[in-house]
Structure formats: structure tokens, C-alpha cells
Amino acid sequence: MSGAQEQGLKLLVPRSGVSIYAIRVQMALAMKGLAYDYLPADPGCKSDLLLTSNPVHKKLPVLIHGGRPVCESLIIVEYLDDAFPGNGASILPTDPYRRAVARFWAAYVDNKMFPSCIGILNTAKQQERADKVEETLAAFGLLEAALAECSKEGEAEAPFFGGGSIGFLDIALGCYIPWFEAIGRLAGVPPFLDAARTPKLAAWAGRFRAAEPVIALLTAVDKVQEYITSVLYPKWNVAVTASN
């Protein structure tokens, strides 16, 4: 593993330890065999380092490489793959079309799938909650079909979106697995990753969770559930009160 001082890598992350996006970057760093300085920070208290490194969004995580910041988790993952081509396997597909497809679905997961899922908990209206559940289940159905297409290797079916090994879309979706499970528990709905409804995706999730380096990095579901109840619920309640 390349040393952090040698590579000049620093990762500025939320202190909570449950950040989907920080863990996504940590997975990419581990896959590339890169050491880095881990710098936990309080997102509620914008440090000078954060404001200097990400003056536009002022959000974590931020990767600092040789003193230069790279922001947004998916962009950071791509940057690591490009900046360290000789380290580990390629994270993004080499084929341009497959790269485009992986990016499309990664953006869909971030911008559509997860907002629908977390939205189940962020409403007290039963119809809105039911609609969010349906949207989320529909999204899982689309990813089931995407997995069948992305994992094709000739006549055979590979174990991951990235083929025979974990790739860009696996990381993009996989870091959400504990959150999907925690949200389902708190909402009192059947598991979203259901072997009867989405068998390929459910089997993929099992393989992903057990794979290196994921097994050491993926957040425990109980920890995510505690974070939602102790941190997010109070924030949402304040927002609702303020809007009334």
C-alpha cells in the first residue's frame, strides 16, 4: 500500500462515521491500495480547511491530493482511478459505453433512488409515504434490470456490476445498503433488497457485503438506524415546525 505521506493524500470526512459518501471514497482508496490521512470533522462547524477546500458547496467529503482539493464523492472516485492507474484494478469500465452506463446509474442512485427512499421517513403523511415506497421499489426494479445488463460477460453473468470484480457502480450503490436496510426497519416495510422481488440484486448485495475491502468499511445497520433517529429525525422535525 502506498504511504499517505508519499502520495500526499488526505480525506476530510464527517465525524459521524455513517456518511455514505465518505465510505464510498474510502472504498475506492482501499481498492487502489492507497494510504491517506483520515481527517474527521464536524459538518456543523465549517472549518477553515473545509471552506478553503470546498468553497462552493462547503460539504464533506473532500479529498486533498498534494495540497489540491477534489470534491463530490463520485468525482473523487473517478479522480482516484485516473490519478493512480497503476494501483490496483481499474474502478471504471475501460469501454466508453460501459463507463457512460455506469455513470448514468450512479447518478440515478444518488439523485433519484436514495432521495425517494429516505423520503419515506421524512413525511408524516401516509399517502406521501406510500408513494415514496412505490417509487423506491420501482427504482430497485430498474437496478435489477441494470445489473442483468451491466454484469454480462459474453454468455455468462458476472457477480458484480463491474464484471468479475467490484467497480464504479458497485461502489456507488453498495455504500447505501446499510441505509436501505435501516430505513426499511424504521418505516416498518419489508426489506427493499428482497430475494423474491429482486433476486439478482439481493444476491449481489450479499456478495458485495462479503467482498474485500467492503467488509471492513460498510457501516453497521444499527449505527445507521441510531444516526437517523438521534440526528436526522430531530432535524426534520425542526424543519417541519419552521415551515408551519
What's the pLDDT at 155? 64
Query: Which residue ranges of the chain lie beneath pLDDT 70?
Result: 1-6, 155, 238-244
- pLDDT value at position 193? 96
* Residue ranges with strand state E in 93-172: 152-153, 156-157
| pLDDT of amino acid 215 | 95
Residue type, 88: G
Give the pLDDT score at 152. Answer: 83
Domain spans in the chain, listed from the N-terminal domain onward: 9-84, 96-239
* Residue 41, Cβ density class (10 Å: 0-12 exposed, 13-18 middle, ≥19 buried): middle
What is the per-residue burial (b if ≥16 Cβ within 10 Å, else e) of 189-204?
eeebbeeeebebbbeb
* pLDDT tens for each residue of 187-208: 999 999 999 999 999 999 999 9
What is the pLDDT, as a whole number, of residue 43?
Answer: 87
Asked whether 160 and 27 are in contact (CB, 8 A), the reply is no
Report the CATH architecture of 96-239.
Up-down Bundle (1.20)
Share of the chain above pLDDT 70, in %: 94
Architecture of domain 9-84: 3-Layer(aba) Sandwich (3.40)
pLDDT of residue 138: 98
